[in-house]
Amino acid sequence: MLKARVTLDPAAVVAPVSRRTFGSFVEHMGRCVYTGIYEPGHPLADEDGFRTDVLALTRELGVTTVRYPGGNFVSGYRWEDGVGPRERRPRRRDLAWHSIETNEVGIDEFARWAAKADVEIMYAVNLGTRGVQEALDVHEYVNQPTGTHLADLRARHGAEKPYGIRMWCLGNELDGPWQLGHKTAQEYGRLAAATAQALRAAEPGLHLVACGSSGSSMPTFGAWEATVLEHTYDLVDSVSCHAYYEEHNGDLGSFLASATDMDHFVDSVVATADSVGARLRSRKKIQLSFDEWNVWYLSRFQNQPPLTRWDVAPPVIEDEYNVADAVVVGSLLISLLRHSDRVTAACQAQLVNVIAPIRTEPGGPAWRQTIFHPFARTAALARGDVLRTAVDAPVYETARYGEAALVDAVATHDAASGDVALFAVNRDLTRPVELTVDLRAFGPPRRPAGSWTLCDDDVRATNTRDRPDRVTLRPAGEVTADGNTATVTLPPVSWTAVRLAAR
Ligand code: AHR
C-alpha cells in the first residue's frame, strides 16, 4: 500500500485557528436570498419569513461570519432601497445578474437572520456606482447609536440597538471588467483609501478589507494588489482574495490538486503585500480575507445563453456537487487553515442554492450538498492552534499545477483539552494510502476519538432532493494508535478528519 507520514509538534504553531475562517456568503443573487434563506410562504418559515430548515442547516454547517449583500450585486446596490416599510420599497433592475430585486430583504431583515443563525455580518459597501458618502450613510444606519438622523431611522424601523458590524469590505472585485463601476487600480486605490479614512473617522477599530484582484488569472493580479495597498496600507487591515476551482475536461488529477494553486495564490499575495510594507518601511502586516472561494463550474456558466428576461430570483449557477468536489473543498480548507497566520477570514461562496453547500426547493425541502460535509466537520473540529504540519508523501504529476503531493494534511491542537484534529486528503485516483501520524512530540499519548471520511466508489455521486444523503460522512477505516503514532487508511479520492484525544 502507498504510505505517507505526518509529523506533529505542539510547539510548531502557525497561529490560532481564526473562527472567521469558517465564513460564508449571502448575495442577492439567484435564489440565495429569495427561496434560499427567505421564503415567507414556506411551511417552515418563521414569523420573519426565514426558512427554519435553512437556519438549522446553517448552524449545523458551523458558519461563523457571512458576507452580505454581494458580490457583483453590491456594485450597483442602493442600501436604502432595502429599509423601511416593505410596500414602499422600490423594485429595481439588478444589472449584475440581470434580474429584478424586490428589496423585500434588506439590512434590517438580514441582521435579524444573522442573529438567528448566530453569525457575524461582514458588510460590503458599494464602491462601484457609489462612494464615500453612501458608505458613511450605511455605516451610520447600522452602527451608530441613536441620536443622529440615520441611526434614528433604524430605530424607527424597529432596531433601537446598533448592529455593531465589525468587518467591512470596501467594494467588490473592482478590477473585473464585468463589475459595475469597474476601475483602474489607481482609481480604486484612492477611493478605497478615502472610504477607509472616513469609516475610521466614524468608528475606529473596524476591520476594513480592500479589494484584491478578482482572481489570480486576471491580468491585473499582483500589480493591482501592490497599487491598491500603496494607497491604503495604513488604513486597511486586510486585502481580499477570490478563487473558484473546477474540473477541466475530465482532468480529475489536476482538479484534486487545486489547493496547491490556493497555496501559491496566498503566498503570492502575502509576498506582494509584504513588499509594499517593506517599501513603506512599515512593520504592519496586511491580513488576507479569502472572502470568496469554492468549487464553481464557471465554464458551464459562461456557455449559458445570454439572459433575455427580467425575473425575480431566477435559478442561477445552482451547481450540483459530487464526491470529488467535496474532496477539493476539504483540501481548500486545509490550505486556508495552513495559512492561518495571514488568512484570518474566509467565506465559502455562497451559502444557499448559488454554488452552495445548502440547496432548497421552493415550497419543498432543504438538503446538504456533498461539499457541506467537509466544511461542517472542519468547522466543528478545528480548535486551538493550527500546527505546522510536515507531510511526507509520494508525489504525482498534474497537467495544470505540475507536481503535487498525493496526500495533503493539516492539524490543530487545542491546548486546553489536549485534543488534536487532523484533516487529510488522498488525491490518488485508485489507491488507498496508509497515513501514519507521528505524535511523539506530544508526550502523553493520544487516543482515537472519532474519525470521518468522505469517499465513494462513484466519485461523481451527488446528493439530490430525492436522495439527500446519498453522499455523507462515514467512520474512517480503523484508526490505530500505539501511544506515539496513529495510523489511518485514506481511501482513493477521499477527505478524512480524525480526532485524537488526550487520554
Ligand atoms: O459568487 C459569485 C460571484 O463571483 C460574485 O458575485 C462575484 O463577486 C464573483 O465574481
Q: How far is the CA of 244 from the centre of ligand 1 (A)?
A: 10
Report the distance separating Cα 267 and Cα 271, nearest Å. Answer: 6
Report the distance separating Cα 485 and Cα 5, nearest Å. Answer: 10
pLDDT confidence tier of residue 363, bands split at 50, 70 and 90: very high
69 lines ligand 1 (CB under 6 A): no
DSSP per-residue codes, 85-141: -GGGPPPEEETTTTEEE--SS-HHHHHHHHHHHT-EEEEEE--SS--HHHHHHHHHH
Q: Which residue has the higher pLDDT, 479 or 123?
A: 123
On the question of pLDDT at 304 being above 60, the answer is no
206 lines ligand 1 (CB under 6 A): no
Q: Is the dihedral of CA 42, 45, 51, 52 positive or negative?
A: negative
Cβ-based burial of 466 (10 A; exposed 0-12, middle 13-18, buried ≥19): exposed
Partners of 437 in beta bridges:
6, 486
Report the distance separating Cα 437 and Cα 447, nearest Å. Answer: 12
pLDDT at 300: 81
On the question of pLDDT at 308 being above 80, the answer is no
Atom of ligand 1 at shortest range from CA of 215 = 10
Report the distance separating Cα 394 and Cα 392, nearest Å. Answer: 7
Atom of ligand 1 at shortest range from CA of 70 = 6
HSE-up of 225 (CA within 13 Å, CB side)?
31
Sheet hosting strand 485-490, strand order edge to edge = 390-392, 2-7, 433-438, 485-490, 480-481
384 lines ligand 1 (CB under 6 A): no
Q: Give, in order, the Cα–Cα distances in Å from 450 to each of 78, 378, 407, 422, 472.
A: 48, 13, 20, 11, 15
DSSP per-residue codes, 30-55: TTSTBTTTB-TTSTTB-TTSBBHHHH
Q: What is the distance of C-alpha 233 from the center of its chain? A: 24
74 lines ligand 1 (CB under 6 A): no
Residue nearest to atom 9 of ligand 1 (CA): 71
Whether the bond into 144 is cis, omega within 30 of 0: no
263 lines ligand 1 (CB under 6 A): no
27 lines ligand 1 (CB under 6 A): yes
DSSP per-residue codes, 166-190: -EEEE-S-TT-TTSTT---HHHHHH
349 lines ligand 1 (CB under 6 A): yes
**Per-residue pLDDT tens digits for 145-170:** 999 999 999 999 999 999 999 999 99
Helix, strand, or coil (residue 286)? coil
- How many helices and strands in the chain, by DSSP H and E? 11, 26
Rama region for 71: left / alpha / beta (φ>0; ψ in -120 to 50; rest): left
Report the distance separating Cα 450 and Cα 166, nearest Å. Answer: 35
Choice among 80, 173, 225, 247 that is catalytic: 173
- Annotated active-site residue 47? The verdict is no
Cell 472572502 belongs to residue: 291
On the question of pLDDT at 303 being above 60, the answer is no
pLDDT at 306: 58
Name the residue of 169, 242, 291, 352 whose CB sits within 8 Å of the most ligand 1 atoms, as the mutation to test its pocket.
242
pLDDT at 482: 82
- Annotated active-site residue 292? The verdict is yes
Q: How far is the CA of 454 from the centre of ligand 1 (A)?
A: 27
- In 338-493 the beta strands, taken as DSSP E runs, fall at 343-349, 358-360, 366-368, 385-387, 390-392, 395-398, 402-405, 407-413, 420-426, 433-438, 446-454, 480-481, 485-490
pLDDT at 413: 98
pLDDT at 299: 85
70 lines ligand 1 (CB under 6 A): yes
Lowest pLDDT segment from 15-24, 201-210, 479-488 = 479-488
Residue percentage of the chain with pLDDT more than 90: 94
pLDDT at 302: 65
Name the residue of 172, 179, 290 whose CB sits within 8 Å of the most ligand 1 atoms, as the mutation to test its pocket.
172
Q: Which residue ranges form the domains of the chain, and what is each CATH number?
A: 2-9+386-502 (2.60.40.1180), 18-381 (3.20.20.80)
Report the distance separating Cα 337 and Cα 164, nearest Å. Answer: 27
Q: Among candidates 391, 390, 449, which has minimal Cα distance to 418?
A: 449
Q: How far is the CA of 216 from the centre of ligand 1 (A)?
A: 14
pLDDT at 480: 84
Choice among 27, 80, 134, 292 that is catalytic: 292
Q: What is the distance of C-alpha 36 from the center of its chain? A: 18
Report the distance separating Cα 336 and Cα 342, nearest Å. Answer: 9
